[in-house]
Amino acid sequence: KFIFKLHKYTPENLFREYVNEAIKNAAKTNSRMSIIAISSENTSEAKEMALGKKTSDILGKAYHIIKDTLRREGDEVIKNNGDMLVILVGCDKQNALNAKKRIGEILYGYLLSQKVAGMVTLHFETATYPDDAGDEISLIAKAKPEKSYKYYL
């Protein structure tokens, strides 16, 4: 009998691993990289019934929309439950802010088309290496969506 266990990642550990790798690559090439942290507020069961859709289904589609929006090779989006992290390689702070705005507008358009705009709240924040932080823990902490700008989508 052969039994093995897979390590269960927390969103923080999963995100930390991806960001650490992106920082290493940016340091090797002496470039910048940015992250956009996106999180949703917990949606009650009653609110989901009013939406007629599960928030997880909406966020699953949002993940694919963001993934299709990314243009640069090496850019990634990682999803874990209600949280997403967009990694933008070779991206400075201003371009990350522009990308955050563009992603917010695209997601808002999607939610409008699904007739759920105004019922889902997403939080967005950005952080850039090395401008905002020099390691993955500090960079992710800087992009904590709890202290970020809210888009009521």
**What one-character-per-residue DSSP string does 58-104 give?**
HHHHHHHHHHHH--STT-EEEEETTEEEEEEET--HHHHHHHHHHHH
Phi, psi of 65 (to 5 degrees): -65, -45
Query: In angstroms, rounded to a whole number, what is the distance separating the alpha carbons of residues 90 and 118?
Result: 33
Per-residue confidence at 152, pLDDT binned at 50, 70, 90? very low
Please, what is the average pLDDT of the chain?
Answer: 82
81 CB contacts (<8 Å, ≥6 apart)? 11, 56
- Measured between alpha carbons, how far is 122 from 88 in angstroms, rounded to an integer? 19
Here the tokens at position 44 are 């009650």
| Cβ–Cβ < 8 Å for 77, 86 | yes
93 vs 110 pLDDT, higher one: 93
Contact criterion met (CB below 8 Å) for 33 and 88 = yes
Does residue 87 have a pLDDT over 90? yes
Q: What is the pLDDT of residues 54-80, one digit of tens each?
A: 677 778 888 999 999 888 888 999 988
Q: What is the C-alpha separation between 150 and 153, in angstroms, rounded?
A: 9
Q: How far apart are the first and last CA of the chain?
A: 50
Instruction: For the chain, give the percent of residues with pLDDT over 70.
Output: 78
**Whether the model pTM is above 0.85:** no
Max Cα–Cα distance, the chain, nearest Å: 55
User: How far lies 68's CA from each of 30, 50, 107, in Å?
Assistant: 27, 29, 12
